[in-house]
Amino acid sequence: MTQDALAARKHVYIEKPMTHRWEEGEAFIAAAEKSGKVVQVGSQYTSMGCAQKSTPLIKSGQLGQITLVEGRFHRNTATGAWYYPIPPDASPATVDFKSFLGSALTKEFGLRRFFQWRLFWDYSGGLPMDLSCAWHP
């Protein structure tokens, strides 16, 4: 979808992960550079208002000299990360599985694959791909 939007001369904001697999990154970067459009890969936590307010606060000097910044994301749940519940009304009639697959290999319909996609290498590059976005042209 990002490459289609860039080809249509649109600026793009997408939520991470930028790609399903790291190997897809080169085509993504080439499309962005060719288009000349702005592409931003976001992470909902770092796009929240409290994160946006931190830069002016730090620059104002109100906090004094900053000597250490430490940040963490925690995924401490009883079921483990990425085991999202499957809605009871989910079915082939309510899930567009073909569109979900995108460029991934064709697989038989599966609710776990759709709702818990991060558990499958076909759609996820693991923690680095899912929680990180660091592309600087």
- pLDDT per residue of the chain (137 residues) written in tens, 0 to 9: 888 999 999 999 988 777 766 777 888 889 999 999 999 888 777 777 777 788 899 899 999 998 988 876 666 677 777 788 899 999 999 999 999 888 788 889 999 999 998 888 888 777 667 766 554 44
* pLDDT score at 63: 93
Could you tell me where the beta strands, DSSP code E, fall in 1-137?
12-15, 39-42
Is 57 within the bounds of a domain? yes
Is 103 within the bounds of a domain? yes
Is 137 within the bounds of a domain? no
Is 111 within the bounds of a domain? yes
* pLDDT score at 35: 95
Q: Domain residues for 33?
A: 2-131
DSSP three-state, residue 129: helix
pTM to 2 decimal places: 0.59
Closest by CA position to 81, among listed 47, 114, 117: 117
- 102, two tokens: 């995108």
Is 122 within the bounds of a domain? yes
Is 13 within the bounds of a domain? yes
Is 136 within the bounds of a domain? no
Q: Please count the structural domains in the chain.
A: 1
CA atoms within a 13 Å half-sphere pointing along the CA-CB vector of 131 = 10
Give the separation between CA 36 and CA 32, rounded to whole angstroms: 6
Is 51 within the bounds of a domain? yes
* pLDDT score at 136: 45
Tell me the backbone φ, ψ of residue 13, rounded to 5 degrees. Answer: -120, 125
* pLDDT score at 125: 75
* pLDDT score at 96: 94
